[in-house]
C-alpha cells in the first residue's frame, strides 16, 4: 500500500454542513453563526489555494445541484429527504441519503480527489466519519455546540437535547483526527465531558470581517433604520429561540423603564431575527411577552439582516445585548464590537472570550431580570462608561480576523493529515 505525499496546503477540502447551508440567511431557521463561519473560512481557504466543496442538504426544489459561493468555493445541494417539513431533530433519518449523495460525487472523480473532510455539527460529523473511512482521508470536526453543555444550562422553557445526539457526538469525537474548538472552554468540554484525546484538540477562535464591520456614522445608520437621532438604542440580533434568551432582554427592558421612566420617550429596542429551533413552536411568543410587559411601544421586531444592512443595526445601537444561555463563541458580540458598539453578554460559553469584561462590554453572571437591568442601566444611564467601553470595543475586536482563523485551520488540517497517515502506516505494518 502506498501513501500520497502530504502537501503543506491541501488541494481540495470537502466541507460537510448537512443541516444548514452557508447560502442561507443567518438569523432564522437553523442558520446562524455557523453559516457565517463556514462561508468566511471557505472563501479564505480558496484564497490560500485550497479549493472547497461544501456539501449541504437541499431544502428546496428551486436550488440548483451546485452553486458557486466564491471563486474556488462550490456549494453542492444534496437531495436527502423531502425539501421541506423536516426540522433538525428529524435529520438523523436522512444521514444515509446524504452520505450516499456525497459518496456519489466523489466516485465520479479519480481516487484522492479530496485531501480531507471538515464536518460542522454532529450530524455532518456522522457523514464525515463514513467519508473518512471510504475515501481514506482525515476527518477534521467542529462541533459548534455540544449537547452535554446545552443540557447543563437550559432555558426554563427549552427542551433538552436527545440522547441520540449525545451518542452521535461521542462517536464523532472518538473518530475525528482533529477536533477544532472555538475557545479553550469548548476544548476543555470536549476533553472533560466527551473524553477527547487532548492531542487531537485544537483551539481556533472564529473571526470577524473587519472590512465590513467597522465603526461608522451613527446618524446615517439611524436614518437608514428610521430611528430618532436622540434615541437610546438597545439591540438584540440573533435567532428567536429560548437558547438565545431574547425574553431576558425584554424583561430587563421592562424593569429598566420601571426604574427610569424618563427613558420611555427615547428608548428603542430593535429585535433583529426570526424564529428558530424550539422557538418555531410559538413564533409569536416574544411579541406576546412584549405586550404582557407593556413595552410594545419601545420594541421593534425586524427581519434578519446581513452585510451592510446588519452593520447599520450595530452602528445605530448604543449597545447590543447577547443574553444567551449558551454560546460556543458569539459572533454577534464580535461583529457589534467591531462596529464600536459595546456588548452586554451573559458570562457563558465563549462569550467571556468574545467580550472583554469592563473593556469592550459587560458580562452578566446569570439571567435574572434585576442583574440585567443593573447592567443595562449602568451603560445607558451612565454615558461615560458606555463611551469608554465603545472605545475598547473596536480595539478588542481587531484582535480577531477570519484570516487568522483560516491560518490556524490550515495548521489543524496539516496536523490531521499527519496523524491520519501515521495511523494508517501503523495499521499496515501491524
Neighbours of 230 (CB within 10 A): 8
Residues 6+ apart with CB under 8 A from 95: 18, 123, 126, 127
8 Å CB contact between 392 and 333: no
Chain center to CA of 347: 17
Q: Cα separation of 52 and 65, whole Å?
A: 16
Q: Cα separation of 246 and 360, whole Å?
A: 21
8 Å CB contact between 316 and 225: yes
8 Å CB contact between 155 and 239: no
How far are the Cα atoms of 168, 183, 363, 396, 400 from residue 356, in angstroms, in the given order? 34, 14, 8, 7, 13
Residue 367: exposed, middle, or buried by beta-carbon count in 10 A (0-12, 13-18, 19+)?
A: buried
Cell of 123: 450530524
Cell of 207: 473571526
Task: Mark the binding-site residues for 1D-myo-inositol 3-phosphate, compressed into ranges.
Answer: 19, 30-35, 88, 121, 145, 165
Q: Coil, strand or helix: which one is 119?
A: strand
Read off φ and ψ for residue 74, nearest 5 degrees: -115, 135
Chain center to CA of 164: 22
Chain center to CA of 325: 14
Q: Coil, strand or helix: which one is 192?
A: helix
Task: Mark the binding-site residues for Mg(2+), compressed into ranges.
Answer: 314-315, 317, 341
Task: Mark the binding-site residues for UDP-N-acetyl-alpha-D-glucosamine, compressed into ranges.
Answer: 25-26, 33, 239, 244, 305, 327, 335
* Count of positions (residues) in the chain: 430
Amino acid at each position: 500500500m502506498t501513501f500520497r505525499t502530504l502537501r503543506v496546503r491541501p488541494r481540495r477540502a470537502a466541507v460537510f454542513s448537512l443541516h444548514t447551508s452557508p447560502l442561507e440567511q443567518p438569523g432564522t431557521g437553523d442558520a446562524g453563526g455557523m453559516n457565517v463561519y463556514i462561508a468566511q473560512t471557505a472563501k479564505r481557504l480558496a484564497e490560500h489555494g485550497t479549493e472547497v466543496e461544501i456539501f449541504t442538504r437541499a431544502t428546496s426544489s428551486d436550488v440548483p445541484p451546485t452553486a458557486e459561493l466564491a471563486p474556488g468555493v462550490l456549494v453542492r445541494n444534496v437531495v436527502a429527504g423531502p425539501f421541506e417539513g423536516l426540522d433538525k431533530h428529524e435529520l438523523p433519518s436522512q444521514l444515509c441519503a446524504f452520505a450516499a449523495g456525497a459518496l456519489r460525487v466523489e466516485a465520479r472523480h479519480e481516487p484522492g480527489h479530496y485531501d480531507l473532510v471538515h464536518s460542522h455539527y454532529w450530524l455532518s460529523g456522522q457523514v464525515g466519519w463514513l467519508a473518512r473511512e471510504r475515501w481514506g482521508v482525515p476527518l477534521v470536526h467542529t462541533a459548534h455546540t455540544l449537547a452535554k453543555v446545552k443540557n447543563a444550562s437550559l432555558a426554563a422553557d427549552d427542551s433538552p437535547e436527545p440522547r441520540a445526539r449525545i451518542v452521535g457526538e461521542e462517536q464523532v469525537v472518538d473518530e475525528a483526527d482533529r477536533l477544532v474548538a472555538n475557545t479553550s472552554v469548548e476544548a476543555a468540554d470536549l476533553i472533560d465531558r466527551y473524553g477527547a484525546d487532548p492531542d487531537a484538540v485544537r483551539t481556533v477562535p472564529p473571526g470577524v470581517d473587519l472590512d465590513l464591520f467597522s465603526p461608522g456614522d451613527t446618524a446615517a445608520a439611524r436614518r437608514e433604520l428610521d430611528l430618532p437621532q436622540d434615541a437610546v438604542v438597545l439591540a438584540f440580533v440573533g435567532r428567536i429561540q429560548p437558547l438565545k434568551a431574547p425574553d431576558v432582554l425584554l424583561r430587563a427592558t421592562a424593569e429598566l423603564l420601571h426604574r427610569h421612566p424618563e427613558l420611555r420617550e427615547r428608548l428603542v429596542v430593535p429585535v433583529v431575527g426570526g424564529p428558530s429551533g424550539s422557538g418555531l413552536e410559538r413564533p409569536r411568543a416574544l411579541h406576546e411577552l412584549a405586550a404582557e410587559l407593556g413595552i410594545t411601544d419601545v420594541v421593534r421586531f425586524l427581519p434578519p439582516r446581513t452585510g451592510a444592512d446588519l452593520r447599520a443595526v450595530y452602528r445605530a445601537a448604543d449597545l447590543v445585548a447577547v443574553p444567551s444561555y449558551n454560546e460556543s463563541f458569539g459572533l454577534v458580540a464580535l461583529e457589534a464590537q467591531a462596529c464600536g458598539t459595546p456588548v452586554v453578554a451573559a458570562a457563558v460559553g465563549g462569550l467571556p472570550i468574545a467580550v472583554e469584561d469592563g473593556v469592550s462590554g459587560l458580562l452578566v453572571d446569570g439571567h435574572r431580570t434585576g442583574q440585567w437591568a443593573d447592567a443595562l442601566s449602568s451603560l445607558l444611564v451612565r454615558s461615560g462608561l458606555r463611551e469608554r467601553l465603545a472605545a475598547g470595543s473596536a480595539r478588542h475586536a481587531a484582535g480577531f480576523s477570519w484570516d487568522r482563523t483560516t491560518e490556524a485551520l490550515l495548521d489543524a488540517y496539516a496536523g490531521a493529515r499527519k496523524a491520519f497517515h501515521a495511523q494508517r502506516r501503523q495499521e499496515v505494518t501491524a
